Amino acid sequence: EPHLPRQVFVKCHFDYDPGRDSLIPCKEAGLRFSAGDLLQIVNQDDANWWQACHVEGGSAGLIPSQLLEEKRKAFVKRDLELTPTSGTLCGSLSGKKKKRMMYLTTKNAEFDRHELLIYEEVARMPPFRRKTLVLIGAQGVGRRSLKNKLIMWDPDRYGTTVPYTSRRPKDSEREGQGYSFVSRGEMEADIRAGRYLEHGEYEGNLYGTRIDSIRGVVASGKVCVLDVNPQAVKVLRTAEFVPYVVFIEAPDFETLRAMNRAALESGVSTKQLTEADLRRTVEESSRIQRGYGHYFDLSLVNTNLERTFRELQAAMEKLRTEPQWVPVSWVY
């Protein structure tokens, strides 16, 4: 018996204004959208132009297909491999290209850095609990403070991993309280075997987060809160870890300087940051946003720790009551 075709929804990863598109057959028929918008694809019969509408409603309009936008972006990049061979960007498509699916997403809904971010297929899910909460941001924006605050606020609901290190324990240290201690050889072997989400070296000792540690927190029924490097999000962005990714954005330079001064005066912090430190934080923050913004579920500008914490709490509560759009590979 005939079955209805699966509805296709996408999250857009670029801004599009049909009024400025020289290739669109009819500017008035185009649908404007911004990065982060959710669209329903109504028709994909044409190789270059799809019909779509915003999920909130409104009439359908034309948008560039994944393939056309790939060609256009590759053409700009002078990437010979993807540049169309015909004289026009609307040239005919080879059978090989046609067979390639709409999305550049792999099984894990990951994008490699060399791939072009255009559309990502998503699905609407009823409210559900995320297994991990991932806080991304520049050094010094307050991610660790937010993580610790959240765990102290509700330790039955939130937990985090204990990092591993190859350094010897100090006399006062107990195994598993601040760190798990292992030999350097064992740690290096596990890093080679891909058992670490991330790792680094400091003063000749290795430190890292084991993927099994995350699984352990999740298995205990808690949301595992992680403040990791942005590259680690790619590994976590799977149906196993279903992360909710929050970008803690640095405020502008002047606000950051005032915050550091206030923290020193109130005794909350003893570390006076230099102008260079503050500028580095602001620059790193915008670099992370440019490179990894497509992974973020939420962005919060941390101008006040208490307020940012309340906003984070509210977002986590919302996940329990409102439907969520997630990468389609988490569902099918």
- What pLDDT shows up at residue 166? 94
Give residue 134's pLDDT.
98
Q: Whole-angstrom distance between the N-terminal and C-terminal Cα of the chain?
A: 22
Looking at residue 111, its pLDDT comes to 41
Q: Where in the chain is the domain with CATH 2.30.30.40?
A: 8-125
* Residue found under tokens 């099984």: 107
| pTM, full prediction | 0.81
Distance, CA of 248 to chain centre: 12
CATH number of 8-125: 2.30.30.40
311-317 long-range contacts, Cβ below 8 Å, gap at least 24? 312/146, 312/150, 312/246, 313/150, 313/153, 315/244, 315/246, 316/133, 316/223, 316/244
Q: Which CATH number fits domain 128-157+222-321: 3.90.470.20, 3.90.1640.10, 3.30.540.10, 3.40.50.300?
A: 3.40.50.300
Q: Given CA atoms 34, 36, 38, 41 in this order, what sign does their dihedral have?
A: positive
pLDDT at 77: 56
What is the strand order of the sheet 180-181 is part of? 180-181, 164-165, 205-210, 196-202
Interatomic CA distance for residues 132 and 235, integer angstroms: 12
Q: Where in the chain is the domain with CATH 3.30.63.10?
A: 162-220
Q: Please list the alpha-helical segments (H only) found in 100-227.
A: 143-153, 184-192, 211-219
Domain span(s) for CATH 3.40.50.300 in the chain = 128-157+222-321
Q: What is the pLDDT of residue 19?
A: 95
Under 8 Å between Cβ of 299 and 247: yes
Its CATH architecture, for the domain 162-220, is: 2-Layer Sandwich (3.30)
pLDDT tens series, the chain, 332 aa: 555 567 899 999 999 999 999 999 999 999 999 999 999 999 999 999 999 999 998 899 999 999 999 888 877 654 444 333 333 333 333 333 323 333 333 333 344 444 568 999 999 999 999 999 999 999 888 899 999 999 999 999 999 999 999 988 888 878 877 899 999 999 999 999 999 999 999 999 999 999 999 999 999 999 999 999 999 999 999 999 999 999 999 999 999 888 888 888 887 677 788 889 999 999 999 999 999 999 999 999 999 889 999 999 999 999 999 999 999 999 88
Q: Distance between CA atoms of 143 and 230, rounded to whole angstroms?
A: 13
SS3 289: helix
Token output for 264: 């020193």
What 3 state SS string does 292-318 have? HHHHCCEEEECCCHHHHHHHHHHHHHH
Give the three-state DSSP class for 179: strand
DSSP strand pairing (61-64 vs 196-202): unpaired
Tokens of 317: 């509560």
